[in-house]
Amino acid sequence: MENQFSLLNKEQLSSKNREVFEKMEKNFGKVPNLYNVIAYSEHALDAYIKLEETPNSFTPKEVEAVNLVVSQVNQCLYCLSAHTIIARTTGITEEDSREIRLGKFSAEEKIDALVKLTEQITLNRGHVNDNALEKFFEVGYTKENLVDLILLIGDRTISNLLYAVTQVPIDFPIAKSV
């Protein structure tokens, strides 16, 4: 069927995307299935990787907290599964991941404020309550952080939408439901 996405093999890739795959395989040992689906486009894979690799003002732990919240709000099991694993490398335990996905983080006030604002921005498409925004700034985040947060939410939303539409097979241990 025209609307179904199967995983591409190397012969089906453009030379540009084949190079990206080879680099990913060398650096990470595999190409995650979601990136495989992005490779249906000659231009999207490179653009998406550039977006993901764009430096920002957050720690890796904060980035993963954002990824977990956005993926939970958007009900993306693929990204929840991937980022539960990735979050562990930043010190976020599986229990922490589950709490973050529920919209809070009791272990750290600063990340809790980030999680709550992220959830509001994602749920309400940018329309947030003033208390969440005030708390975000109160705990030490800046306007630069706010702009970077919106870019991170956009990044994760792209992958969440790609999974929702393509239903690519999940190639990570499945995240437990909350």
Cβ-contact 130, 124 below 8 angstroms: no
Q: Which domain holds residue 44?
A: 10-53
pLDDT of residue 4: 81
Q: Are residues 68 and 46 in the same domain?
A: no
Q: What is the DSSP letter of 30?
A: S
pLDDT of residue 12: 95
- CATH number of the domain encompassing residue 23: 1.20.5
pLDDT of residue 129: 87
pLDDT of residue 17: 96
pLDDT in tens for each of the 178 residues of the chain? 566 889 999 999 999 999 999 999 998 899 999 999 999 999 999 999 999 999 999 999 999 999 999 999 999 999 999 999 999 999 999 999 999 999 999 999 999 999 999 999 999 999 998 899 999 999 999 999 999 999 999 999 999 999 999 999 999 999 999 9
Q: Are residues 113 and 28 in the same domain?
A: no
Tokens encoding 142: 């800046």
- CATH number of the domain encompassing residue 118: 1.20.1290.10
Tokens encoding 67: 């990824």
**Is residue 120 assigned to a domain?**
yes
- Give long-range contacts, CB 8 A cutoff, 24+ apart: 18-22: 20/45, 20/46, 20/49
Q: Are residues 107 and 34 in the same domain?
A: no
pTM for this one? 0.94
**Is residue 173 assigned to a domain?**
no
Tokens encoding 23: 């680099």
CA distance 154 to 157: 5
Cβ-contact 136, 113 below 8 angstroms: yes
pLDDT of residue 3: 67
